[in-house]
Amino acid sequence: MKIAEASDKPEVKGIPMSTRLPRRPEPPAEKSGETGSNGSAPYGAGPSSSAIPSVSGTSGPSAGTASTTATVEPPILPPPSRKVLTMKKPMRAGEFAIEKSIQGVAFISLLFIALIFIFIFREAIPLFFSEVKAAMHQSQVEEAETYGVDPTAPEIVEAPELEQNQDNFHPKTLVSKNWQPVSLNPQYGIVPLLMGSLKVTLVALLLAAPIGIFAALYTSNFAPKWAKESMKPIIEVLAGFPSVVIGFFALVIMATLLQNLFGYQFRLNAFVGGVAMALAVIPIIYTVSEDALNAVPKVMTEASLALGATKWETAFFVILPSATPGIFAAMILGFGRAFGETMIVLMATGNAALLTIALTDPVRTLSATIGAEMAEVVFGDTHYRVLFFVGALLFVISFSLNAIAEFFIRNRMMKKFKGI
Amino acid sequence: MNKSIFAAAALAMATLAGAAQVITVKGSDTMVILAQRWAEKYMATHPDVSVQVTGGGSGTGISALINGTTDICDASRKMKASEREKLKQRFNSLGVEVPSARDGLAVYLNEASPVSELSLDQVKAIYTGKLTNWKDVGGPDAKIVLYGRENNSGTYVYFRDNVLKGQDFAPGVQSLPGTAAVVNAVSKDKLGIGFGGAAYAKGLKFAKIKKDEGSTAYEPTAETVKNGSYPITRYLYMYLKSRPTGALKEYIDWTLSPEGQVIVTEVGYFPVK
């Protein structure tokens, strides 16, 4: 960006003629690209690099080499700052390519998001529009013949194959309170799953928000320089912690510890999951609120201190309220993370689709349900579609939460400070 | 990982041996260790045969059999009628079923639990949520904490069909990923109950199971599973497209021979003969 701007600035015109000359014929060289650059080399490089013509002549393919040799020439060597400019300028062809490819990459990531969006919805939507699926044709097929069976061995009597009622899906069942997808009478009530996700998220936020926000307040206002410099990276490392490790830790150690501490009945439950989730959410809330607190203009702190407020009063009554929108954004982002996180809840919450209020009951979350069931589901089945619907729901929720955090709250905060 | 290394090794061996006979085995994850042991032992004595084993689940294995991409399909459940029908359409054969091992499905209890025997009806009532207190089955006055498997597991379906007689599990059953997780949970929970393979037990006890109120209760041991007196027993199957011939027949016969069945016991299942 900067380089491109610099090349358009007027001071470029101050560069001695001999170094500017090779630039003039550049456009045709750029257009002809890799194939034609050799032809332009003697044309552009000729006048300036007469001291070492052989070098510029043979290493012609890139225009960059030609003018690098030009700047080496002592009499017309520009001052150091200009030298940087002249060295960068010949890179324009490459620059252009780099800029375009970066742009391409940026658009590809956008494209991916759009494609994921389309794919998830495309898989989920037939749930509501396709006609009732015909029950699978179950004609009486003969048994397979057996081989190598010992006739003297006692027979194992297995239950006859039970038939599944496939054809009773109605969108209304999505709001029932039973999640029994692998059943002879499948029920796809996602209410208990939604409740489970909310319970875990609530616990996680209740724990992570105060810790994250106060830690951010400490580092941005009170911490000595060394603490500031070490605390931030350390907490941020926690964000890169693999969630499966946190989940395993919760499953094996935290669950027993917390059960012994509080004496509730179920070892794995929403509370354990929420506590483990808090570990994953703290760094997010911390980082974003720290940025928000740091964005509060120094003038406000100084004004507050000048008016006689103590450091604590300044932090709590001036800086914290000013950063509220940013902190709110941090909490929303934390909420989104907790809502969508899969591995921790899969391991630590017990995965029972119960619709209860108590935080110490096992729960099954939306994300864990997809994680646990997607692998074995029949392609194109109702169960498959319902899981995609759950995925779409998660997508919409986290997408809108992130959008709210990004567009509304941050913008509001920025506007607030613009006048200062 | 191991599987792929093994497969690669098998492939390398096959190339070294030149015109080696290759037998592919695919299917049940429950059986994958057993199948690998069989393959290793068999290849050690039959250098001209290469047995390649991959897992993926019973359903995956059966699809592979229907698509003709595997010689042997391992399955921890019987083939469904719909699957047999597909096989018939494709190969005009209903497939050949080889029961190659027995597996006892144990009901796990915590070691400290005073309950030691349950009837099948009681197990059913507990898992469908009709009995919720241990005192109903002779234990302390405390809530029963139910542990089970995720609904994509073959064990889940087997237990539902054979013990719950097709009824749904209670919503309060905590589904855990894998039998080891169930064992771990029950061993730590005094009020817990779980189910899974009899080979896995560490730090817990098996409930003695009786068929009905009047009969005697049995623990899943080699003897009771083998003679059929333990009521929750299943076969582990190998499925073939047609009656085996040549190298395939030799291999199948070998797995069913005393030599092959010793390996079944080593892995933790029970022999069919």
Residues B56 and B75: beta-carbon distance below 8 Å: no
pLDDT at position A168, please?
A: 63
Strands A179-180 and A187-188: antiparallel
Q: Is B38's pLDDT higher than 50?
A: yes
Sorting pLDDT into bands at 50, 70 and 90, what band is A128?
confident
ipTM confidence score: 0.72
User: SS3 for chain B, per residue?
Assistant: CHHHHHHHHHHHHHHHCCCCEEEEEEECCCCHHHHHHHHHHHHHHCCCEEEEEECCCHHHHHHHHHHCCCCEEEECCCCCHHHHHHHHHHHCCCCEEEEEEEEEEEEEECCCCCCCEEEHHHHHHHHCCCCCEHHHHCCCCCECEEEEECCCCHHHHHHHHHCCCCCCCCCCCEEECCHHHHHHHHHHCCCEEEEEEHHHCCCCEECEEECCCCCCCECCCHHHHHCCCCCCEEEEEEEECCCCCHHHHHHHHHHHCHHHHHHHHHHCCECCC
What is the C-alpha to C-alpha distance for residues B199 and B270, in angstroms, rounded to an integer?
9
Across the interface, do B175 and A256 touch by the CB < 8 Å criterion?
A: no
Q: Is it the case that residue B131 has pLDDT exceeding 60?
A: yes
| Contact status of A5 with chain B (Cβ, < 8 Å) | no
A178 touches chain B (CB under 8 A): yes
Collapse the DSSP code of A323 into the 3-class scheme (helix H, G, I; strand E, B; otherwise coil) and give the result. coil
Q: Residue B225 is encoded by which pair of tokens?
A: 């599973």
Amino acid identity at B97:
E
Residue B8 clears pLDDT 60, i.e. is over it: no
Closest by Cα among B37, B35, B34, B15 to B24: B35
Q: CB neighbours (10 Å) of residue B201? A: 18
Report yes or no: B11 and B50 within 8 Å, Cβ to Cβ. Answer: yes
Question: What residues of chain B, 219 to 248, have a C-beta less than 8 Å from chain A?
Answer: 226-228, 233-235, 239-240, 243-244
**Chain A, window 119-158: residues with a beta carbon less than 8 angstroms from a chain B beta carbon:** 136, 138-150, 153-156, 158
Percent of chain A with pLDDT over 90: 36
Measured CA to CA in angstroms, residue B77 lies from A264, B6, B31 at distances of 38, 25, 11
Lowest mean pLDDT across A73-87, A287-301, A313-327, B181-195:
A73-87
Pairing of strands B72-75, B145-149: unpaired
- pLDDT at position A41: 40
Q: Say if the Cβ atoms of B82 and A377 lie within 8 Å.
A: no
Phi, psi of B97 (to 5 degrees): -100, 125
Give the up-direction half-sphere exposure of residue A91: CA atoms within 13 A in the CB hemisphere.
12
Q: Which residues contact A254 (CB under 8 A, 6 or more apart)?
A: A272, A275, A276, A348
- Rounded distance between C-alpha atoms, residue A82 and residue A10, angstroms: 12
**Per residue in A405-414, pLDDT tens?**
888 776 776 6
- Model pLDDT, residue B35: 92
Q: How far apart are CA A379 and CA A322, in angstroms?
A: 52
Judged by CB atoms within 8 Å, which residues 245-274 of A form the interface with B?
Answer: 251-252, 256, 265-268
Place of tokens 């939604």: A194
Give pLDDT, residue B41. 93
Query: B108 has which bridge partners?
Result: B194, B206
- Radius of gyration from C-alpha coordinates of chain B: 20
Length, in residues, of chain A: 420
Which of A147, A150, A266 is nearest residue B244 as measured by Cβ atoms?
A: A147
Closest B-chain CA to A363? B174
| pLDDT value for B17 | 47
pLDDT of residue A394: 93
Give the nearest chain A residue to B86 (CA atoms).
Answer: A141
B168, B182, B225, B229, best to mutate vs chain A, most A CBs in 10 Å: B168
**Separation between Cα atoms, residue B155 and residue B195, nearest integer Å:** 9
pLDDT tens, residue by residue, A37-49: 444 444 444 444 4
Chain A positions in Cβ-Cβ contact with residue B228 (cut-off 8 Å): 154-156
**A403 pLDDT above the threshold of 90:** no
CA distance B224 to chain A (A): 11
Between B99 and B19, where is the model more confident? Answer: B99
Smallest Cα–Cα separation from B185: which of B171, B202, B163? B202
Give the model's pLDDT for residue A325.
86
Q: What number is the average pLDDT over the span B253-267?
A: 90
CB contact under 8 A, A144 and B96: yes
Q: What is the pLDDT of residues A281-336, one digit of tens each?
A: 999 999 999 999 998 888 999 999 999 999 999 999 999 988 888 898 899 999 99
Sign of CA dihedral B230, B232, B238, B240: positive
pLDDT bracket for residue B83 (50, 70, 90): confident
Query: Could you tell me the two tokens for A242?
Result: 């693999």
Which residue of B81, B152, B243 is in closest CB contact with A376?
Answer: B152
Find the Cα–Cα–Cα–Cα dihedral B195, B197, B199, B202, rounded to 10°.
-20
Which helix (H) or strand (E) is A261 found in, with range? helix A255-262
Rounded Cα distance, A182 and A384, in Å: 11
Chain B contact present for A34, CB below 8 A:
no
Cβ-Cβ contacts under 8 Å between A and B: the total is 140
Task: Find, among B52, B117, B93, the residue nearest to B251 by Cα.
Answer: B52
Query: What is the mean predicted confidence (pLDDT) over A102-118?
Result: 91
Identity of the residue in B96, B168, B234 whose CB atom sits nearest the CB atom of A156: B234
Asked if B126 and B208 count as a contact pair (C-beta separation under 8 A), the reply is no
Query: How much is the average pLDDT of A99-120?
Result: 91
Contact A144 B252 (CB under 8 A): no
Q: B94 and A145: CB-CB below 8 Å?
A: yes
- Shortest Cα distance, chain A CAs vs residue B84, angstroms: 7
Please report, as a single letter, which amino acid is at residue A59. S
Summarize the confidence of residues A20-35 as an average pLDDT: 43
A91 DSSP 8-state letter: G
Closest CA to A409 of A331, A326, A293, A336: A326
Mutate to test the interface with B, among A140, A150, A156 (most CBs of B within 10 A): A156
What is the average pLDDT across B104-126? 92
To test the contact with chain A by mutation, choose from B102, B175, B218, B251 the residue with the greatest count of A C-beta atoms within 10 A, namely B175
Q: Give CA–CA dist A391/A152, Å, rounded.
A: 52
How far CA B30 is from CA of A148, A283, B268, in Å, comes to 21, 40, 11
Could you read off the pLDDT of A343-371 as tens digits, one per residue? Answer: 999 989 988 998 988 999 999 999 999 98
Predicted confidence at residue B55, as pLDDT, reads: 81
Please state the rounded mean pLDDT for residues A380-387: 85
Put simply, whether B91 touches A (Cβ < 8 Å) is no
Residue among B96, B173, B256 whose CB faces A145 most closely: B96
Please check whether residue A387 touches B, CB under 8 A.
no
Q: Please provide the size of chain B in residues.
A: 273
Alpha carbon separation from A257 to A199, A261, B188 (Å, rounded) = 20, 6, 12
Q: What b/e sequence results for B26-65 when a residue is b if at least 16 CB atoms lie within 10 Å of its CB, and e otherwise? A: bbbbbbbbbbbbbbebbbeebeebbbbbbbbbbbbbbbbb
Residues of chain B with pLDDT > 70, as a percent, come to 93
Most confident of A202-211, A238-247, A352-361: A202-211
Tokens of A419: 């006048």
The pLDDT score that the predictor gives to residue B73 is: 92
pLDDT above 80: residue B272:
yes
A chain contacts of residue B96, beta-carbon cutoff 8 Å: 144-147
Measure CA B189 to chain center: 25
**A150, A159, A364: residue with CB nearest B165:** A159
Asked whether residue A91 carries a pLDDT value surpassing 70, the answer given is: no
Confidence band of A68 (pLDDT split at 50, 70, 90): very low
Cβ-in-10-Å burial (0-12, 13-18, 19+) of A139 comes to exposed
Q: Give the DSSP letter string of A138-185.
A: ---PPPPEE-S--TTSPPP-PPPPPPP--S---GGGGGSS-EE-SSSS
18-37 in B: which are within 8 Å (CB) of A?
Answer: none
| Mean pLDDT (whole number) for A182-188 | 84
Q: Which residues contact B203 (CB under 8 A, 6 or more apart)?
A: B111, B183, B187
Arithmetic mean of pLDDT over chain A? 77
Which residues 117-136 in chain B show a CB within 8 A of chain A? Answer: none
Whether residues B171 and A372 touch (CB distance < 8 A) is answered with no
Residue B78: its chain A contacts at CB < 8 A? 158, 161
Quick check: A212 contacting B, CB < 8 Å?
Answer: no
- Between A132 and A110, name the one with better pLDDT: A110
Q: Is the pLDDT of residue A391 over 80?
A: yes
- B150: pLDDT confidence band, cut at 50, 70 and 90? confident
Count Cβ atoms below 10 Å from residue B272 Cβ, excluding itself. Answer: 22
Asked whether the predicted pLDDT for residue A26 surpasses 60, the reply is no
pLDDT tens string B218-239: 888 888 888 888 888 888 899 9
Inter-chain contact A148–B253, Cβ cutoff 8 Å? yes
At residue A10, does pLDDT exceed 90? no
Q: Residue A140 — very low, low, confident or very high, per pLDDT cuts 50/70/90?
A: low
Instruction: Tell me whether B81 touches chain A (CB under 8 Å).
Output: yes
Exposed/middle/buried for residue A125 (C-beta within 10 Å: 0-12, 13-18, 19+): middle
Residues in A closer than 8 angstroms to B193, CB to CB, are: none
Instruction: Establish if B162 touches chain A: CB-CB under 8 angstroms.
Output: yes
Q: What's the pLDDT score for residue A191?
A: 93
Pick from B89, B91, B150 the residue to mutate for testing the A interface (most A CBs within 10 Å).
Answer: B150
Average pLDDT, chain B: 85
**For residues B63-89, average pLDDT:** 86
Cβ contact A359:A196 at 8 Å: no
In chain B, the N- to C-terminal Cα span, in Å, equals: 33
Q: How high is the pLDDT of residue A159?
A: 67
Residue position matching structure tokens 């929420």: A274
